Structure 1
Amino acid sequence: MDEAKLTVAIVDDDEAVRRALCRMVSSLSYRVADFPSGQAFLDELQKEQYACVLLDLHMPELNGIEVLARLRMAGHRLPAIIITGGDEPKMRDRCLSAGASDYLIKPLERDATFAAIHASSSLSGPAF
């Protein structure tokens, strides 16, 4: 896949964090689609093919692991990178066991984010 044309979905309820992530991911030569909630992302999922999703763990209504579970129950193989402000080893294990491709701690470092996106988007080709 040509990474310059890949779109990364960013799902985070914090607008300032979402804007910062959009700028960083755009600077890595990816297109970006951002969503303020897990439900907003799920509602728009069929409209675009995403390379992967950066998915905030702690959000109201649907949290990141619930969004990931819905993706997997619907048969989507879209790589999901869980992002969180707090490193919780048991939660890390739970997310990875649920099918997350990676688990990153905020604030995200540019190089680590690029490596996670690159590795995730190379995993399975088309996400559907």
Structure 2
Amino acid sequence: MTVKYPIYLVDDDESVRRSVGFMLKTSGLTVRSFESGTAFLKEAGSLDPGCALLDIQMSEIDGLEVQAELRDRGIAFPVVVMTGHGDVEIAVKAMKGGAIDFIEKPFAKETLLDAIAEAFDQLERSGQKSKRRKEAELLVNALTPREHDVLVGLTKGYPNKTIGYDLDISPRTVEIHRANAMKKLDVYNLSDLLRIAFAAGIGEDRDTKTPAKRPDPQ
């Protein structure tokens, strides 16, 4: 666990908050405790990226509801759920909802730390992906609107002829815009050009199927 993020411990049982919090803090981790899912959700949007350690069975709203609300708000905290004996079926639902792991109470310190380490790995990968996207967006922002339009067409798998038809320009002009875009992005082949485009989020809504046939210019 080289990179450490905060852990948001959410449990309505004060004794659990104390014991689990102590376990984590003595392992050198930063912990912030919340007495309910409602209290956590009130602040979740302003919290730094971290791991949400949720109890499944809570009053007011349970761990599954907290997990679903985080997902609906687009808050990408990896979730580890804590379950009591016999809550395995509910824990499986949490896993299907995207939870990293579930641990049954009472659990060993090593079991908890292993789950936290996996959550930290996900946060690290997510952070690197976010960094790559920002870098790609900066590069793509240097393109002219027309070069950007051509790039969008390329991410859809369209040939120059079809892109030209859509943009009401000649295939030769498409080729010029494509060459200019490659020069600005400092790439020498189409695959590298598309890699930057996709990293920047261009073409994210593209259909994974073969593109429908477009009218061919006469």
TM-score, normalised relative to structure 1: 0.90
Unaligned runs of 5+ in 1: none
Q: Where has structure 1 moved over 2 Å in runs of 4 or more?
A: 87-90, 124-128
Report the Cα distance in structure 2 between the residues aligned to 1:97 and 1:2, rounded to whole angstroms.
Answer: 26
Report the Cα distance in structure 1 between the residues aligned to 2:18 and 2:79, rounded to whole angstroms.
Answer: 19
Name whichever structure is richer in helix by fraction: 2
Residue in 2 that maps onto 1:71: 70
Residue in 1 that maps onto 2:80: 81
Offset of residue 41 of structure 1: 0.5
Report the Cα distance in structure 2 between the residues aligned to 1:92 and 1:11, rounded to whole angstroms.
Answer: 15
Name whichever structure is richer in strand by fraction: 1
SS at match of 1:40: helix
Could you tell me whether the CA contact under 8 Å between 1:50 and 1:78 is conserved in 2? Answer: yes
Q: Which residue identity is paired with 1:2?
A: V
Residue in 2 that maps onto 1:106: 105
Report the Cα distance in structure 2 between the residues aligned to 1:18 and 1:56, rounded to whole angstroms.
Answer: 10
Residue in 1 that maps onto 2:35: 36
TM-score, normalised relative to structure 2: 0.54
Offset of residue 7 of structure 1: 0.9
Could you tell me whether the CA contact under 8 Å between 2:50 and 2:123 is conserved in 1? Answer: no
Offset of residue 108 of structure 1: 2.2
SS at match of 1:123: helix
RMSD across aligned positions (CA): 1.8
Report the Cα distance in structure 1 between the residues aligned to 2:88 and 2:18, rounded to whole angstroms.
Answer: 27
Report the Cα distance in structure 1 between the residues aligned to 2:49 and 2:8, rounded to whole angstroms.
Answer: 6
Could you tell me whether the CA contact under 8 Å between 1:38 and 1:62 is conserved in 2? Answer: yes
Unaligned runs of 5+ in 2: 131-218
Offset of residue 30 of structure 1: 0.8
Q: Which has the larger radius of gyration?
A: 2
Report the Cα distance in structure 1 between the residues aligned to 2:49 and 2:27, rounded to whole angstroms.
Answer: 15
Residue in 1 that maps onto 2:95: 96
96-105 vs 42-51, which moves further? 42-51
Residue in 1 that maps onto 2:120: 121
